[in-house]
Structure 1
Amino acid sequence: MRDTTQPHGPAGDSGAIKTMAAEAGTLSVLIANALGHADAVSGELTRQVRTAEQLRNAARDMSTGSAEVEAATSAASTATASAAELRKATRHGFEKVIAEVKLLAEEVDGLETCVEGLAHALDRVGRVAEEIASVAQMTNMLALNAQVEAARAGSAGRGFMVVAQEVKAMSERTAAATSDIGQTLDSLRAAADQIANTNARVLARTATMQDEARNHASVRLKVDEAIAEVDRQQARIDEARRNSAQSVRTVEGGILQLADSVTMAERGITGVRDTFDNILGLSQRLTADFARLGVETVDSPFINAVQAGAAQISEAFEKAVASGKITLNDLFDAEYRAVQGSDPKQVLTRFTALTDQLLPPIQEPMLKLSPLVVFCAAVDRNGYLPTHNRVFSQPQRRGDPAWNAANCRNRRMFDDRVGLTAGRSKQAFTLQAYRRDMGGGQFVMMKDVSAPITVRGRHWGGLRLAYKLPKGA
């Protein structure tokens, strides 16, 4: 606490007023600092509100996804059950087919035995036929010999001749019959061989069918095991899904509560900001009132300088309009046209070229007023700053918005609270305190004093003079 005790009388009253003015200035700075923190908190809460809304939407999507998972697992369980029923039905049919294949293999195997027996019987018949043919040949030879002998005997051998002829005829018929039997046997053997070959192929195919059936049975067993495992996994998935659904509902409820809490906090900090804003305005007006009373404060040199500078700019604008350099309508142009490719965005108006010509000779000398001065620049009533100090009017670098934001501050809109107040205030001067963002989370407390610029009775904007607080203030 400063010692505000002063002796009574005019000198004591003057000292007390100066102390009060200094305290009012300090108060405005402290409130501006608190307001800056409140703005930062408000910004964070606003981002948290958006994040909470995103979380709420995500939770809603999770609930929807949980319902879809439930439907999918239900459909999968139904499909698994249907597959199990189909598996049972096909298993009975397949077992019947396996039985039929086994029976066919047994019958084919029995047929092979019959074919072998037939082949043996044909062999025996062939051997008998060969013996008969041999006997018939011998009989034929005997019959020829008998005929020869009967012919020698003359009339005595006629009866024997007849018998010999009949025996010969019988042997010839026997030979013809045995020949037919041989041909028939050959045909039967060929047929039997064909049957045997066919039977061998059928037997091989039935063996293949049996192997395939055994393989299929093994595969079917694996399929059964896989289906059973799928069924078990689906049961686990369903249990996990139920647990997840419960967790999602819990998370969703928590997110809703969080969103409501953040929204309430945002409303609360908005009220705090508004209150700080009102108190700041009151303290700044109080500080300004002390200055208007003629009380010399640390801000007095800056107030006097900015009023003089604003008067010079008003006079320069008046002369430009009077000389025809610019029309009054063009001087008050509010159609801000974007500079193509600028980042941060820069804009132009019909009076920008004139301010580039008239303002530097007035604004640049103000930088030498004190080492505390940071910048001096005029803004129109909408916070548009057409011509900045040369140090802040560098050409923009393409693709480097961070550098541009710090070094290319001309032709920019500064329509924040401080900028708009400076541009729109019609008071003889306006003194504001604020936190300037230096980047990287660093802030510097500054003061901004401004004075109105008028042209032919119309309020054009204001001249801003920003300066840092002296150390220890």
Structure 2
Amino acid sequence: MWDSLRRRAGKASPDASEGGAGIGPREPTMQGKTTTVVRELSGGVSKLGRDAAEVRGLLEDTQKVVTSQAQAMQALGAELEQVRHAQDGINQSTNQTREAVERARTALSGVGDEVGEIVSTLRLVSDAASEITKIALQTRLVAFNASVEAKRAGEAGRGFGVVADAVKDLAAQVEASSKAIMGTVGTLDSRIESFSRELRADGAGGAAQSKIHQAFADVEVDVDLIAKSAQESQATTQLLAARSGELGVEIQQAMRKLDSAFACSDRFLRLSEQMIEQIASSGVEVEDSPYIQAVQEAAAEISALLERAVAERKIDAAALFDEHYQPIAGTDPQQFTTRFTQIADQLFPQVQERVLTFSDKVVFCIAVDRNGYVATHNKRYCQPQRAGDTAWNTANSRYRRIFNDRTGLASARNQRPFLLQTYRRDMGGGNFVLLKEASAPVTVAGRHWGGVRLAFGF
């Protein structure tokens, strides 16, 4: 049976219009003409389906790019909003800095006034010290005169002379202390007066500014520059935000148009697939016929193997139809196990690997459950995953995975005798292969379990 299918897949079927041996060429019969037309139509529709699948794939790629751009624009809008908030904060800070400088200027003016009061007080102290000096001088003169008179009085004035000398010495000390106070107060007065002038010299009336006021003026200039730059940046940000919003609207419009184009390409692809199916169902041997028969026979074998496994109690129906897919930790793309994974590993390869040898155009043959889960793939695609190498895993580690894309689910859930589809297969790393796929349903005791998918090249 498989040898016959291989021969049919490897060459075109004989034309029904060819004549018998030894009679020579005959005019084509009506049946022969019909067969030729159907085969030509099949070839044309097959090419049409291939182009439709390629267009659909390109639209899908474009849709992903546009979606990514839309997400990027949304992220940009959010970032611009954050920048705007930061600029508002800068403006608020510069205003607060200006107010702080003004408060400092006012405070300095108040300090200058206070320092002026201190200078006035020190001058009063200096005046008082001067008066004390004068009094001390007069006291010394009085004490000197008293001492002279005491000496004249002789022995009677000796005690008074001692007191007069003591008063004279004390007056001298008071005079010296007063002069020291006056000197210190004079120096302090000079310094405080200079400091007071520094505090008051704010440049008003054309006078020169002190270093303190110049420093405040420099701060104000720098703050004004920061505020100006922030305002310019804010204006630029607002323009960017406006343009970003416009681009976002344009991208949304492009996405809607792409969705419409994608839907049209999808309908076009489905129409071409329906035409291919109808031609294949016409009874005329066409290019896809051997693959359809091969997948139907493979599905029948898988069904029989599963029914026998249930009958022999190698697995029960509940486990065979298990849909609780358990993720395998650390896998990328994500892999899963179910309660029927082990029995699939035991039963499916004998059918799947044999169908691979059916034609050199066959890319893979796999049994999937109704949700697109592939328990075990062809051996070449059952390589253990490599950590961190998603592209390699996508291409070489395709078992224990769920393929629930349009093609995968359609094949998994199809319950008609067969289904023909055309699609792009993702091989990872941005690489795609354009394939045809024939699928047939797998049933166990009358219950739909999934299907067999047979993919082949053009």
Matched, 1:257 2:246: yes
2:292 to 298, 303, 316: 303
CA distance in 2, matches of 1:245, 1:201: 59
Provide, for residues 264-303 of structure 1, a one-character-per-residue CA deviation record: whole Å limited to 9, x for no partner: 1111111111111111111011112212223333333322
Q: Report the equivalent of 2:214.
A: 225
Identity rate, percent:
31
CA distance in 1, matches of 2:28, 2:109: 112
1:13 to 21, 31, 34: 34
Instruction: Give 1:28 deviation, angstroms.
Output: 0.4
1:34 to 51, 55, 65: 55
- Amino acid in structure 2 at the alignment position of 1:295: V
- Amino acid in structure 1 at the alignment position of 2:165: G
Q: Report the equivalent of 2:45.
A: 24
Structure 2: gaps spanning 5 or more residues: 1-26, 203-208
Matches within 5 A, 1:270-419: 270-419=259-408
Higher gyration radius (CA): 1
- Amino acid in structure 1 at the alignment position of 2:172: R
Q: Report the equivalent of 2:12.
A: none
Instruction: Give 1:120 deviation, angstroms.
Output: 8.1
Instruction: Give 1:455 deviation, angstroms.
Output: 1.1
1:424 to 380, 404, 413: 413
Q: Is the 8 A contact 1:105 1:203 kept in 2?
A: no
Q: Report the equivalent of 1:181.
A: 164
- Amino acid in structure 1 at the alignment position of 2:406: R
Alignment CA distance shift 1:132-1:25 (3 Å): same
Structure 1: gaps spanning 5 or more residues: 1-5, 137-169
**SS of equivalent to 1:423:** helix
Q: Is the 8 A contact 1:397 1:403 kept in 2?
A: yes
Q: Report the equivalent of 2:15.
A: none
CA distance in 2, matches of 1:319, 1:438: 35
Instruction: Give 1:467 deviation, angstroms.
Output: 2.3
Alignment CA distance shift 1:350-1:296 (3 Å): same
**SS of equivalent to 2:210:** helix
Matched, 1:43 2:53: no
Instruction: Give 1:77 deviation, angstroms.
Output: 3.5
Instruction: Give 1:66 deviation, angstroms.
Output: 4.1
**SS of equivalent to 1:466:** strand
CA distance in 2, matches of 1:55, 1:7: 69
**SS of equivalent to 1:59:** helix
- Amino acid in structure 1 at the alignment position of 2:31: P
Q: Report the equivalent of 1:247.
A: 236
Moved more, 367-376 or 192-201: 192-201
Instruction: Give 1:176 deviation, angstroms.
Output: 4.6
CA distance in 2, matches of 1:171, 1:56: 112
Which structure shows the bigger proportion of residues in helix conformation? Answer: 1
TM-score of the pair, normalised by structure 2: 0.81
Instruction: Give 1:11 deviation, angstroms.
Output: 2.8
Q: Is the 8 A contact 1:118 1:192 kept in 2?
A: no
**SS of equivalent to 1:371:** coil
Provide, for residues 175-200 of structure 1, a one-character-per-residue CA deviation record: whole Å limited to 9, x for no partner: 45434433332333344444445555
Moved more, 175-184 or 291-300: 175-184
CA distance in 1, matches of 2:116, 2:170: 42
Provide, for residues 404-438 of structure 1, a one-character-per-residue CA deviation record: whole Å limited to 9, x for no partner: 33322111111111110110111222121111233
- Amino acid in structure 2 at the alignment position of 1:374: V
- Amino acid in structure 2 at the alignment position of 1:13: T
Q: Is the 8 A contact 1:383 1:420 kept in 2?
A: yes
Matched, 1:60 2:81: yes
CA distance in 1, matches of 2:423, 2:235: 49
Quote the RMSD (CA, aligned, Å): 3.3
Q: Is the 8 A contact 2:385 2:397 kept in 1?
A: yes
Matched, 1:172 2:155: yes
- Amino acid in structure 1 at the alignment position of 2:155: E
Q: Is the 8 A contact 2:364 2:455 kept in 1?
A: yes
Alignment CA distance shift 1:189-1:226 (3 Å): closer
**SS of equivalent to 2:246:** helix
CA distance in 1, matches of 2:79, 2:163: 99
Q: Is the 8 A contact 2:394 2:427 kept in 1?
A: no
- Amino acid in structure 2 at the alignment position of 1:49: A
- Amino acid in structure 1 at the alignment position of 2:347: L
Instruction: Give 1:63 deviation, angstroms.
Output: 3.9
TM-score of the pair, normalised by structure 1: 0.79
Alignment CA distance shift 1:118-1:295 (3 Å): farther
- Amino acid in structure 2 at the alignment position of 1:57: A
CA distance in 1, matches of 2:28, 2:221: 95
CA distance in 2, matches of 1:99, 1:270: 88
Instruction: Give 1:319 deviation, angstroms.
Output: 1.0
Alignment CA distance shift 1:312-1:203 (3 Å): same
**SS of equivalent to 1:462:** strand
CA distance in 1, matches of 2:314, 2:291: 31
Instruction: Give 1:353 deviation, angstroms.
Output: 1.0
Instruction: Give 1:208 deviation, angstroms.
Output: 5.9
2:112 to 87, 91, 98: 91
Instruction: Give 1:240 deviation, angstroms.
Output: 3.5
CA distance in 2, matches of 1:180, 1:61: 90
